[in-house]
Amino acid sequence: MEKAEAEPSASADSARPWQSYTTVYTNAKAGMDGVDKEKVQRTVYEMSKGSKYFENEERKEAFIRQKIDNMRARCAKLSASDISHYQMVADKRILELEATRDLSRIWLHVDMDAFYAAVETLDNPSLRGRPMAVGGMSMISTANYEARKFGVRAAMPGFIARKLCPELIFVPTDFKKYTYYSDLTRKVFQKYDPNFMAASLDEAYLDITEVCNERDLTSGEIAEELRTSVHEVTGLTCSAGVAPNRLLAKVCSDINKPNGQFVLPSNRMAVMTFISSLPIRKIGGIGKVTEHILSGVFGINTCEEMLQKGGFLCALFSRSSADFFLSVGLGLGKTDTPQVRFRKSISNERTFSATDDTALLYQKLAELSEMLSIDMQKEGLSGRTLTLKLKTASFEVRSRAVTMQKYICSREDILNHALKLLNAELPLSLRLIGLRISHFNEDKDGHLSDPTQKTLANFIISGDASGKNVCEHSLLGSDTSDSHFMVDPENDLSIDNHETCHYVSEDLLDSNLLSDLDHCNFNLSNNSGKIDNNNELPLNGSVAKVNAPNVVGCAPKSHQIKVSHLVEADSFSFSEQCESNRPDRARRTNNDLDDGVPSSNQKEQFLWVNDYKCSLCGIELPPNFVEERQEHFDFHLAEKLQKEESDNSRNLMLNQRFSQRDHTASQRRHKRHKSSKKEGSKSSQKESKHLPIDMFFVKSNQNF
Ligand code: DCP
Ligand code: MG
């Protein structure tokens, strides 16, 4: 096994402190190749020095350095036999991973160019050719390519961007517009892959294997056509990458940005050549922290070096982390076709010689209903929206849809509703009938849900659970941090507004480390113990301290907020928000209640700072993500109540202990055990009014 030659542990050069890792606004963005990196670093350093942000960045930097030093020390302690053992482990894993290589699919990753900025320019052509950024003085969401030449980029504070580029024009964000254009692009994507995987408002993964085969076109031709079509429909340009897996397709889409494409052929040699000199930072999931650690500890800078240092990676990281790194070294990525849960709909259709014979049409409809029902049951699906597609004898295509209260999947139910839709169109001569069911009842975890069921927020707010208005509850604990969920930058994707929102940290190790760091922010004394005892950095760590199992939809990329920023964020407390939402103080909305009790909608509304950012965890969801916001709100409520419940149980136990002690003492002194018992039972009755949150879920599930 090669030596783990690492760069000397980074310590800021005192003569050029701006070179410190913390102040680097990476040059990984497209359009920033010619930028004077050092000038940008110096400006960023000078502008942010002394700020809270800067201090926090320095703390993070120190933490990562400590981590690197610890890992290097552990590397140095590996004996010769350890080293040969781990080398064997790595060699075996590499062979096993290699055996999983699948070159049979063609994946296309499409990413809009300077998306928000391009949309704004479309709206206001006078911006064309001038450096502009979307956002404000505190933060910018993106910058056009003219501004990038000055080092201005997404996630940079606007006041720093202005310093770098005094001519910079700022345009405020307008999510409605971006969502509108995003929807237009998705209509195009759908034509090439009906199950395309949207990764954010401006990017998607498409499996174009079928369309290439069906149309006998090369992947490059399809990419070209798709980009032209997006441009025709939206007036915006996009870039595309084609590769045998999603991980590589994403890397490829950035190569010829803007308005370009890159095709990586589907053969092992091409992949290995491509990956060999690729900087690790280009890989989705490897951000500045992982890059720093891999470079600082092992001297790994390119993907190929992951394989060369495989033994050390296996020695120091968990199996899943090491597997990820080795896969990157092999250029492997996900190739699977989206699973059932990514499906938006299920459909069938039948073409026949044009006929207006009603009995025949009914028969076709019955057959289609039966087939659809069988297919749905095979996949365990039920849906709420039924769409009838008809093609008339004159080739006019009509769609009629109905959304039911209940989820359906039986032949009878489907046929019943389909007949109603068809009858409304008859008499008619038809040559095609199709049926589609969408709006499935399957959440991310495959749990069934009932559309008629109240959301948790409604349930609590209406007082059903505790008899209390939510405002009366105590503060939401600041430790929303304890919830973790898996990160898979390729896989946690959303198809439409019914899929899992992916709160993907750009850096897998980063997210994990930062979650530790944020603990440090809250409780410094815990800091070292937690770090030192942790021998490895689990790859699938926490992200943004938000466990949003059912948060659906796809949020803009700026939701990739690091936890440490959340800690610093100007978040106001849940109860304060409730308070400020009281009818006498609140901004009233159209939906205000007459009875003076804030509606769940109102409560959900005030959660969002500037109408798009969750004040509790920093996640950003545009206003039109109504369901997603509701669910996000529910998530915080559930978390809060869970915490309360555990506090309540603790209090209850303590109360009982005290009351037992009092009771025994009274017995001894006054023999008043009867009244004491009564009090005890009253108190537990009162406590049991609080339905434990896990009980709530159990009960709810029984209703499904
Ligand atoms: N975005 C954001 N916050 C970030 C990064 C991005 O709000 N930290 C938003 C603005 C971007 C959009 O998401 O326009 C798409 O992000 P991209 O990373 O794809 O960046 P752009 O599309 O702006 O530029 P390009 O893809 O050409 O590099
Ligand atoms: Mg983009």
- 435-455 pLDDT per residue, tens: 999 888 864 444 445 443 433
Query: Is the CB of 202 inside a 6 Å radius of any atom of ligand 1?
Result: yes
> Do the Cβ atoms of 437 and 482 come closer than 8 Å?
no
Of 479 and 296, which is predicted with more confidence? 296
pLDDT of residue 623: 61
pLDDT surpassing 80 at residue 331: yes
SS3 89: helix
Strand segments, DSSP code E, in 424-555 are: 430-440
Residue 516 has a pLDDT of 34
- Does any ligand 1 atom lie closer than 6 A to the CB of residue 116? yes
634: CB partners within 8 A, 6+ apart: 455, 456, 457, 550
Closest-CA residue, ligand 1 atom 18, reads: 557
Query: 297 pLDDT band (50/70/90 cuts)?
Result: very high
Distance CA 411, CA 703 (A): 23
Mutate which of 121, 145, 557, 565 for ligand 1? The one with the most ligand atoms within 8 Å of its CB, which is: 557
DSSP line for 173-241:
--HHHHHHHHHHHHHHHHHH-TT-EEEETTEEEEE-HHHHHHHT--HHHHHHHHHHHHHHHHS--EEEE
Specify whether the CB–CB gap between 246 and 204 falls below 8 A.
no
pLDDT digits (tens, 9 = 90+) for 5-26: 555 544 445 666 656 645 455 5
Res. 1 pLDDT band, cuts 50 70 90: low
- The reported pLDDT for the residue numbered 431 is 87
- The residue length of the chain stands at 704
Compare 702 and 214 and report the one with higher pLDDT: 214
Give the pairing of strands 107-112 and 203-207.
Answer: antiparallel
| CB of residue 326 inside a 6 A radius of ligand 1 | no
Which residue reads 């590397």 in tokens? 75
pLDDT at 375: 84
Instruction: Report whether pLDDT(142) > 80.
Output: yes
Phi, psi (degrees; rounded to nearest 5) at 428 = -165, 145
Task: Give the per-residue pLDDT at 94.
Answer: 97
State which amino acid sits at residue 376. M
- Could you count the other beta carbons within 10 Å of the beta carbon of residue 493? 25
Q: Is the CB of 115 under 6 A from ligand 1?
A: yes
Nearest ligand to the CA of 565 is 1
Determine the distance separating the centroid of ligand 2 and the alpha carbon of 114, expressed in angstroms: 5
- Residue 439's pLDDT is 85
Report, as an integer, the average pLDDT of 327-356: 81
Q: What is the C-alpha radius of gyration for the chain, rounded to an integer number of angstroms? A: 29
- Position with higher pLDDT, 590 vs 427: 427
Considering the candidates 61, 120, 146, 203, report the single residue annotated as catalytic.
203
pLDDT of residue 484 exceeding 80, the answer is: no
CA of 112 to the centre of ligand 2 (A): 4
What's the average model confidence in pLDDT over 457-480?
28
pLDDT tens-digit readout, 566-575: 222 222 222 2
Which ligand minimizes its atom distance to the CA of 25?
1
Nearest-angstrom CA–CA distance, 557 and 489: 12
State how beta strands 238-243 and 261-263 pair.
parallel
pLDDT, greater one: 686 or 336: 336
Q: Which residue has the tokens 């509790």?
A: 616
* CA 311 to mean position of chain CA atoms: 32
Structure tokens at 8: 């000397």
pLDDT tens figures, 507-553: 556 544 433 333 322 222 222 223 233 333 333 322 222 222 222 23
* Structural domains for the chain: 107-130+167-263 (3.30.70.270), 347-704 (no CATH)
Helix H or strand E segment including 325: helix 319-330
DSSP-assigned beta bridge partners for residue 387: 401, 436
The Cα 659–Cα 669 span in angstroms is 15
Mean pLDDT of 217-223: 98
Q: What is the pLDDT of residue 704?
A: 26
- Of 328, 311, 419, 411, nearest to 370 by C-alpha is 411
Mean pLDDT across the chain, nearest whole number?
Answer: 70
pLDDT of residue 209: 96
Average pLDDT over residues 64-93: 95
SS3 content of the chain, % helix, strand, coil (to 5): 50, 15, 35
* Pocket flag, ligand 1, residue 120 (CB < 6 Å): no
- Res. 81: pLDDT tops 80: yes
Q: What is the pLDDT of residues 373-430, one digit of tens each?
A: 988 887 788 998 899 999 888 877 788 888 888 899 999 999 999 999 999 999 999 9
C-alpha 198 – ligand 1 centre gap (Å): 14
Cα separation values, 28 from 100, 296, 631, Å: 30, 19, 34
Mapped onto helix, strand or coil, the DSSP state of residue 405 is strand
Task: Give the pLDDT of residue 540.
Answer: 30
pLDDT: is 667 or 206 the higher one? 206
155-159 average pLDDT score: 85
User: Which of 141, 144, 178 to mutate to test ligand 1, by most ligand atoms within 8 A of the CB atom?
Assistant: 141
Task: Please answer whether residues 428 and 462 qualify as being in contact, where contact means their C-beta atoms are separated by less than 8 angstroms.
Answer: no
* Ligand 1 nearest-atom number relative to CA 31: 28
Nearest to 331 by CA among 296, 314, 298, 307: 307
Q: Is 506 a catalytic residue?
A: no
